[in-house]
Each structure stands twice: as C-alpha cells, then as structure tokens.
Amino acid sequence: MPAPRSVVPPWPDDATVIRRSWDEPDCFGAVFDAHYTEIHRYASQRLGPHAADDICAETFALAFRQRRRYDLSRGSARPWLYGIATNVISRHRRDEVRLLRAVNRLRPVSESAGGHEDAVTAKVSAERLQGALAEAVAALPADQRDVLLLVALSGLSYEEAAQALDVPFGTVSSRLNRARKKLRKALGGTNPLLDEKDMHR
Amino acid sequence: MNDLDLVRGLYDDDPPPPTREAMAQARARMLSQTGTVRRRPRRAWRLPLGLVAATMVASVVAGMALIAHDPAEPKKPGAANKGVDPSPQALTPRGMMLAAASQAEQQPQGRYWFTHQRTGLPLLALGRTGGYVVEERADTFEWVGRTREDGRAFYGRDLGGEPQTDADIKDWRDAGSPRSWQVRSSGTTRTISIKPGDWIADQKKPPGGAFTIPGVGSFTYAELQNLPAEPEELRELLCEGRVRLTSEVAEQLRRGGVTAAHKSCDSASGVLDKVFFTLTSTPVPPKVRAGLMRLLTDYPGVRRLGAVADPLGRPGIALAASYKSRDGRGTLQRDLIFDQRTGKVLGSRDILKKPGPDSQSWQAPGRILGYWLIVDSGWADTRPKLPD
C-alpha cells in the first residue's frame, strides 16, 4: 500500500516553523534539530569544545525566548542563530583573546622528523605566520573580530552577516575591510601567501 | 589563498561534534522555558488535607497485598481468613499508586547510578514498500558516580526500527518484509534500518557527582539527599523560582548579565513531565521518589489509570494527563507508568485521543505517538557494564 499523497507535506522553512512555534512552542524543536550542530561547531571553533556546550545551550534558550521577534520574511534561521551565538560568545571576549594568544605562544616549533629542508622551512614560516595572525586577530577590536570570524567561519554572505549582527550592510563591509587591513599589516604587508586579487572580493 | 582562508586556517576545521547528552540537555532546557514569556500566576493548589493519613493506610494495605502476591512467599494459611481480600485488584488506582510510592521508599543505594533508556518514535514508512507505521528506536545508557571522582559515562545507539502494531507487522509482511524504510520527520527524509547499531560512547568525560533535571536545574548527589519529601514542597521545587545552574554556568551567565530562566509547570501535564524528568534523570533518594509519586497521584487534572502494560509489555500502573499537542496533532494523553512492586518508573507514552488539523491519516485515536522508557535503572557498587 503506497503512502497517500496527503501525508507527505512539503516541509516548511524555518520562518514557517518559528511562526507556528509562537503558539505551539514545541515546534521550535525542529529549529534546534536543524541547526544545533552547525552553531555548536562555530562556538567550538571560537571558544573550544567545552565552552561550546554552554554557549549553544544559551544561544538556543535565547533564540527560543526571542522567537516572537524573528523576522518572518527570512526563510532560513541561520543568520539569526549565528547572530545570537555571536552575541553570547562576545560575553566571553577575554577567554577568546586568551585562546588566540595561546595559539601564538603554544604553537609547537616544527618537529624536523624526516622533513626535507625546504619543507621544514616552509612549515616553520607558516607556523610563525599563523602565530602572528592569531595575535593580530586577538588584537582586533571586538566588533571587527566578530564580523571577521562570522564571515570566515560561518560561510554567511556579507548580507547575511549584516542580518545576523543587525547592522547595515555597509557597516559589515567597513568593519571587515578594517580588520583585513590590520591582519595584512601584521603579516608584513606583502605576504607571499596572500593573493592580492583576493583581497578585494 | 586570501586572508580569510588564513584566518580559517587558525581554527580547528573539524571540532568534536556535540555529545548526544549535551544536545538532549540543551534541547530540553530550551523547550522547558515554555511559559516563561508570559509569567503565569502562582498556582493556588495545595496538598489536600488528610492525604498523609490516607497514605499511611494505603501503605499498610499495600504491604499485605504485596506479600500475598509475591510468588517467593506463599500465602500463609490463615492469613487469607482475615476477611479482607488483599489482592492488588482490590486496591483503587489511587491505592495502587500510593502502594508503589511506599515501595519506592525501600530501594537500596550504591556507588554508581545507571539508567538505560529507550525512546520510540512511530513514523509512516514511505514509498512503494511502505504505508504502515514503523517505530524508530534509540537507546541511551548512562552512569554517574556518586562523587566527582567516580566520573560518569554516556552512550547511545540506534536500535533500528520495527513495525509498531500487529496490523503494521501484517502490512509490512505483505509488502515483502523490507529491511529498511524511508521516513520523514523534522524536515528530513531518512532511512531507518531494521538492524540495530552499536553503542557509541560520548568522548567527553565530565566529572561525576552531579545530576541535571531538565527545566529544574543541576544538583550534586549531596543536594539531592536534602531535597524535601513533602509533595507541596516538591511542587515548589519543580515549578517555581528560577532554574538552578551549576556554579560554572551561573558564573558565565553572570558575567554576561543574564540570569537563569524561570521554572514553570504548564497545567497537569507540565507537572507530570517535571516529575518524570526528576525520577528518570536523577537518583533522588527513595523518600523523595515517594513524595513525587504522591504529589502526582493527587494533582488536579491527573488521572489514575490503574493497571496497564507498557510498550515493552511490562505490567505497571499509570497516571495520565492530557495535553493539546503544540504541533497540530490534536489532543494527546501522556501516561507515566510505574512498576507497582518496586515503585520504579517504567516510562512514559503518548496516546492520541483526538486528532488535530495536522494529524496524518495513520494518527488515529488510540495510536501511540511516542514513548520514552526506562529499560533498567538502579545502583551498582562497581562501574556499570553496557547492556547487550
């Protein structure tokens, strides 16, 4: 007996589910199920896996409490959830900076086991570069760092990042440009690893 | 390569995924805030007078009933001649519940608390070989040491699917007994196999000695010992004030100027859920278990069903509260089932009473729309072993 057509509804987008959750709060579970892992990954990258559990629990608890303020014209809840997570993460600014400085300090000097000399040199310089980069990210003003990492780690477009942070599109671009300028400066201005053309996307 | 790629390179490309336990807790915590948007007036319910006396009478009657029915203890000649039939059937459903509560008071404790739980979600099998209902089942096994140093562990496994009712089994056979099914829920289409998966351990190894009750808070073993046993005090603990956070989380939130969510119990089913979570997520001491059972037995809106069988076929006695589904599936009845002999929770199940606008055609009155069972739980003196 084939399934009757009527029991296989087209699945609603996040906006529809969230609208429904205004009256039927349990529906919000579907938003959690669809996005928790992704938001957890983002929190884990920025603050480490241990903190990520608490950050994510708080993010979704806040999202649930704010579900009536969701802009229903937006089909996907990803930018909104990334925005809330970014705000929760920003409360742990000091922890994040400490982690980034630790990357700079603790990044191991390359073990030379069996490496071709050129390869080892390249690796060491890449590690130095990463340490300097981590330090530069740590030194960014918080609002610039949030935009930079949101765009770099979430894969959101500038447009979506602007939605997420609830700021105008132009603000996202200018914060991002300032952040990238500082990073380039920290890396010595003309780093051979950087393709200049990519800088103006 | 551009500078954004370099920034990405700083970060762990593939951080460890969230554990099932953390996800389940976060999800429960999120949904347990229901009702915090509108503050609800304080409920004026109080424990009916005379319950304490009634409880004592019921315990005495139940004690006789249990002795008479224990196969290991044959009836003594003369004992049956007292003029009272002490069989459990002679008890009212309320008497059965209170008898189970007094049994809960007798359970011994150990060093490691463990719980083996099973959830089942019936779904329609789709496609050419579908058209009947298959239960998607998952197991969890968790043990928590009494002290921090004793540690804890959490495991999960997919248990595979099986057709739900006898009629579903027949339809499945008629469809050629397929070994896997396509189903759709929560926005995704997926395949359920008939074959169970292996246990997978959560890699995170947090310390033992602490227990979380979704929507209520986190308690150390010592704090559980000091919980009240009086039903009204327990209701306040479950339903009023703010969620109790671990000091670590509370500190993080304080730095951000955020306080814990308000607790709330939405109607009788809300109280039933809180009691269920407390009894199944923590080893509250026997007197508290008994108090929770008494609270629920006499709570307005809770029905006492008497004898039932749980989805594993185990005999039990049940309390029930109806609620309106929030996803358009109509009115459901949630049963909380206890083992009368031990007072332990066997599990809960949702039965459809009245279909709603979004009910699917197979979701007819009487159909079980979900269950959450406690396969086994208790105390052990050595580290509990994974069940088969």
Q: Is A34 on the interface with B (CB under 8 A)?
A: yes
Q: What end-to-end distance do the CA atoms of chain B give, in Å?
A: 51
> How many angstroms away from the CA of A149 is the closest CA of chain B?
8
Residue A8 is nearest to which of B8, B184, B249, comparing CB atoms? B184
B293 touches B100 (CB < 8 A): yes
What is the tens place of the pLDDT at every residue in B334-385? 999 999 888 889 999 999 999 988 888 899 999 999 999 999 998 999 999 9
**Cβ <8 Å between A30 and B187:** yes
> How many angstroms away from the CA of A74 is the closest CA of chain B?
17
Q: How far is CA A49 from CA A88, A192, B20, B184, B282, in A?
A: 15, 33, 14, 31, 25
CA distance B279 to B296: 12
Residues 6+ apart with CB under 8 A from A90: A142, A146
B207 touches B152 (CB < 8 A): yes
Closest CA to A96 of A80, A85, A83, A111: A85
A64 touches A25 (CB < 8 A): yes
* Percent of chain B with pLDDT strictly greater than 90: 41
State how far Cα B58 lies from the chain centre. 26
- Which DSSP helix (H) or strand (E) runs through B228? none
Q: Scanning every residue of chain A, which has its alpha carbon at the shortest distance from the alpha carbon of B256?
A: A91
Residue B3 is nearest to which of A52, A134, A180, comparing CB atoms? A180
Residue B127, phi-psi category: left (phi > 0), alpha (psi -120 to 50), beta (remainder): left
**Cβ <8 Å between A65 and B8:** no
CB atoms within 10 A of CB B196: 14
CB atoms within 10 A of CB B242: 12
- For A138, the token pair is 């740590």
Q: Is A19 on the interface with B (CB under 8 A)?
A: no
> How many angstroms away from the CA of A117 is the closest CA of chain B?
23
> How many angstroms away from the CA of A199 is the closest CA of chain B?
6
CA distance A182 to B163: 61
Strand order in the sheet with B303-309: B200-201, B152-163, B133-145, B112-124, B368-380, B345-354, B331-338, B315-324, B303-309
Chain A, chain B: beta-carbon pairs less than 8 Å apart:
170
Residue A152 is nearest to which of B4, B325, B326, comparing CB atoms? B4
What A35-39 contacts at long range (C-beta under 8 Å, 24+ apart), as own/partner pairs, is A35/A77, A35/A78, A35/A81, A36/A60, A36/B18, A36/B23, A36/B26, A36/B27, A37/B17, A37/B18, A38/A78, A39/A81, A39/A82, A39/A85
Q: Is A172 on the interface with B (CB under 8 A)?
A: no
> How many angstroms away from the CA of A116 is the closest CA of chain B?
23
CA distance A185 to A199: 13
Please report the pLDDT score of residue B236 as a whole number.
93
**Cβ <8 Å between A88 and B2:** no
Global pTM value: 0.56
Closest CA to B184 of A10, A181, A183: A10
Please report the pLDDT score of residue B45 as a whole number.
31
Please report the pLDDT score of residue B186 as a whole number.
63
What is the tens place of the pLDDT at every residue in B255-300? 655 666 777 787 899 899 999 999 998 999 888 998 999 999 999 9
Closest CA to A37 of A49, A25, A19: A49
Say how many residues make up chain B.
388
Q: Quick one: chain A helix, strand, coil %, rounded to 5?
A: 75, 0, 25
Residues 6+ apart with CB under 8 A from A49: B15, B16, B204
What is the tens place of the pLDDT at every residue in A121-130? 555 556 666 7
Half-sphere exposure of A190 (CA within 13 A, CB side): 0
Residue B2 is nearest to which of A1, A8, A194, comparing CB atoms? A194
Residues of A in contact with B33 (CB under 8 A): 61, 64-65
> How many angstroms away from the CA of A61 is the closest CA of chain B?
4
- For B203, the token pair is 């890699």
Q: Scanning every residue of chain B, which has its alpha carbon at the shortest distance from the alpha carbon of A33?
A: B186
Residues of A in contact with B184 (CB under 8 A): 8, 11
Our CA angle for B8, B10, B14, nearest 5°, is 70
Our CA angle for B234, B235, B239, nearest 5°, is 120
B237 touches B274 (CB < 8 A): no
pLDDT by residue for chain B (388 residues), tens digit each? 577 887 887 787 778 888 888 888 888 888 877 543 333 333 323 223 333 333 333 333 333 333 333 333 333 333 333 333 334 445 777 887 787 877 776 666 789 999 999 989 899 999 899 999 999 998 989 999 999 899 988 888 889 999 999 999 999 999 999 999 999 876 677 889 999 988 888 766 678 888 888 778 889 888 998 999 999 999 999 998 887 877 766 665 566 556 667 777 878 998 999 999 999 989 998 889 989 999 999 999 999 998 999 999 999 999 999 998 877 788 999 999 999 888 889 999 999 999 988 888 899 999 999 999 999 998 999 999 999 8
pLDDT surpasses 60 at A40: yes
State how far Cα B200 lies from the chain centre. 21
Q: Scanning every residue of chain A, which has its alpha carbon at the shortest distance from the alpha carbon of B359?
A: A7
Residue A64 is nearest to which of B6, B11, B30, comparing CB atoms? B30
What angle in degrees, to the nearest 10, is found between the helix axes of A14-23 and A29-47?
A: 110
- Local structure of A144: helix, strand or coil: helix
**Cβ <8 Å between A60 and B27:** yes
Determine how β-strand B180-185 pairs with β-strand B200-201.
unpaired
Please report the pLDDT score of residue A42 as a whole number.
94
Q: Is A159 on the interface with B (CB under 8 A)?
A: no
Please report the pLDDT score of residue B187 as a whole number.
66
Tell me the β-bridge partners of B112.
Answer: B145, B380
